[in-house]
Every structure is written in C-alpha cells, then in structure tokens.
A and B are shown apart, each in its own frame.
Chain A
C-alpha cells in the first residue's frame, strides 16, 4: 500500500516536474521568438536535408528559427505527430550553436513536451577542401516519449514508440551525441555523410552508432536576373538515407531501422524556407512512413543587437 502511494506521489511529482519544464520551454521559445521578430530577416540558402548535415554553418550573428513536424505511422500503437522548434545561432563563422525543444502528440493518447537538445557544430578547417569536416556534439535531455526521430541510432526500432505516453515519459535519457559531418560540393551537387556515436550518460549503457547520408542539388545552377519566388534556383531537391548501426555489444544491421527520404527545400527571397520530406521505412523494424515538413526563417544581426541590449559598446 505504502509502495503504491509512493508510486502515485512520484507520478504526481513527475507530472508537475514535466509541467514546469514544458512551461519553461514555452517561455524560452517565446522570448527567443520575440527577439527574432525585432530584427531583420536574413538571406536563406538552405539545403533540403532534415536529418543529414552538410558542412555549412550559420552566418555569424544570425539566428535561424525553425519549426519541424513529423507525422509517423505506428504499427501496434497510435500514429503520432512529433514536432520541434530549433534556434540556430551563428556564434562565429566556425561555431554554430542550437537549442531544440521537442514535443509530440500521439493520436488517441496525449500531447507531451519531451525535452531539449543543445547542439554545437565546429568547423576545424578554415578553407574549403576536397572533403570538409565539421565536428558535431550534442547534449540531450529527453524522455522516452520523444518521437521526433531526428536521428536513428543503435537498435532504435518502430516498436519503441508504441508505448503509451504516460509510461514512456517516465523514462529519461541524458545523452551525449557525437557526429562527424563530412560534406562536399561538386558541380552543384552536395554529398554529405554523417557517421554518429551516442552515449547514454548512465555508465551501464553501451555506445550506439548510426549514419545519415544525403545528396542534393539546386534545380537551377544560375540565378535569374529578376527577383522571383518560383524560379528554379530557389528549389533544392535531394534524398537522404539514415539508420542505426547497432551498439558496442552488437554492432551491425541486426534489429535496426533504416529510412529513405526524398526531400525538397524552397528558399524564398523573403528569408523563409519551406522543407518537405516523405520518409519511407526500408525494413520491418522501421515506421512505414515519416512525413516531415518544416518552416524556417533567418534573422540577421541578432548577436549584435543582443550584445547592445546587454551594454556592449556602441
């Protein structure tokens, strides 16, 4: 009886705790959006990738605010709509830092805030080379109810997401994720390969591995003389493939999931970018469909304006 009461109290406490985190996330998102709206829109020349990264970083001082949605089908459970807001800031020309706030709605179940991620990308080489490496390090504090599937690692499979939210959100992950972003542009084509390794900070958990590969190209390689929204040069199309590669205890393709996702980005002259990508599961462990879309806008001069607000010299 005492144990049952304790479980109830814990659940209640956890629920309040989640509520506080959700409120803080909501507040942080709105403060950052407000700052973003006070500054000018910047230029956008975004790749269509949603999972894969190329080697280009955010321009220094610029803030890109992004919203992404993922609709996923679920066998053995309810379909879901997962979403995240992303604040990407160019601290310098060689360092970009990003904050993600994740959430999801499982149909016929509930809507939950699932945690945050803090990501950093660092460019070690000053110039363009045959292949351009960027180092990626991310800390994430997310619940097991997280379904944005921004990366697939280890033995992540579809059935992981079948658990009801009330149960899944009790489990918490504190993870460090490392990626090596390799990318090259050649004759208008971009090829990007991102091997990844993730470590749950609990000592008993093994290192998990995964990959993402992307190829993309603008639909036109030359700009037209007129300012236009529907010109081919504003569209970039590509395809990405991503999946898990097991962990240190069982490396390989056994019990892993993989996806193939055509993707298209529409870069509007006003600074907005729209992305759309239907992803298809390649084996029985994968969700059959991950339908993703995203909207982003870049704002220039945010760093300078914030530093002035904080008393930087004029």
Chain B
C-alpha cells in the first residue's frame, strides 16, 4: 500500500528521500563526533591542520582592535551567541568541534584565526562566518586569544601536515 502511495505521489517519495538523506548526514556527523577517542583526535587534528592552509598574507594581518579595551568582552558575547553551541561555553571543545583554548589555537596568529572564521571549514561542518561584520570577527579573535591555554582539555597533535 505504501508503495502504491509513493508511486501515485512522486513528491512524497522525493520528500521522504530528502528527509532520509539529510538525517543520514546528521547521523553521520553525530556518529563521527560521538566516538570521543580516535575520532575526536582526528577531528581536532583536521581542524588545527586547517591553519596550515591559510595564505601567508592573511596570516600576517594584524588585529585592528588589538588595543580596544571592550573587544574581549564583546568578542565573548559574540562567541556565546554564535560559537559556544559547537565549541563549548568555555571554548573547551565538544564532540562536534575542537577546543579553542588549545595550544594550537593560542599560538596561531590573529590573521590565521580571522581567516578560518571568515572561510569556515565547510567540509567538516564549520560554516563560513563572513556574515558577521569584519569588526565583530576581529572581536571574536581577541576573545579567543584571551583564553587561557591551560584550560586545554583536548591534546591535539600539532602536526599541521595536510592530508
């Protein structure tokens, strides 16, 4: 009977296929993120390795808000609104995204973090954040660089070779 319904309603079939496909993607990402051990290390490694792809010119960019006294607080607010959902409220990382208080992030230049924030890591689920105005992205960078590296929970390999 279900077959008959699907035959007579191709749109229903298409919708059902779409729902299954999107949930399969979601489940795939949930599964990969749920294996905290090896999978998590791999995930962190992948994200941190992204910094090796940042063009030299972008890497050297200076934060124009480096001396803005409110930038850290504003960046913290923006982080809570847009980033904490995946990276954790204290940037400690989660099964979905790596820790941002990790040494690899703290050692990265402001320009590197700004570039990654702007371009995302789309293949691994981090969206592009260029929809935030440039100044707000620099505020987030200020906040990230203010985090204490000792909060690091994950211990990523700092090998930044690309795959």
Contact = CB atoms under 8 A, between A and B. Distances in A.
B132 interface: yes
B82 to A, nearest CB: 5
Interface stretch (A150-158, A216-224, A239-247): A216-224
A195 B35 CA distance: 43
Given A56-B131, A93-B126, A43 B31 contact: no
A90 B77 CA distance: 24
B120 A312 contact: no
B85 interface: yes
A306 interface: yes
Contacts of A314: 34
B131 A221 contact: no
Contacts, number: 137
Contacts of A93: 120-127
Interface of A (DSSP majority class): loop
Contacts of B126: 93
Interface of B (DSSP majority class): helix
Nearest to B31: A313
A223 B78 CA distance: 8
Interface stretch (A118-126, A250-258, A272-280): A118-126
Contacts of B134: 187-188, 221
Contacts of A190: 131
A222 B74 contact: yes
10 nearest A-B residue pairs (beta carbon)? A303-B26, A225-B73, A307-B27, A91-B22, A221-B133, A223-B74, A222-B135, A127-B119, A43-B81, A225-B70
19 contacts: A47-B131, A56-B131, A59-B127, A60-B25, A61-B29, A61-B96, A90-B127, A93-B127, A97-B18, A118-B11, A221-B135, A222-B136, A223-B74, A223-B75, A224-B70, A303-B29, A303-B30, A304-B96, A310-B27
Interface of B: 11, 14-15, 18, 21-23, 25-27, 29-31, 34-35, 70, 73-75, 77-78, 81-82, 85, 96, 118-128, 130-136, 139
Given A93-B127, A233-B136, A307-B27, 12 more contacts: A89-B22, A92-B29, A93-B122, A93-B126, A95-B22, A127-B119, A128-B130, A221-B134, A223-B74, A225-B77, A304-B29, A306-B23
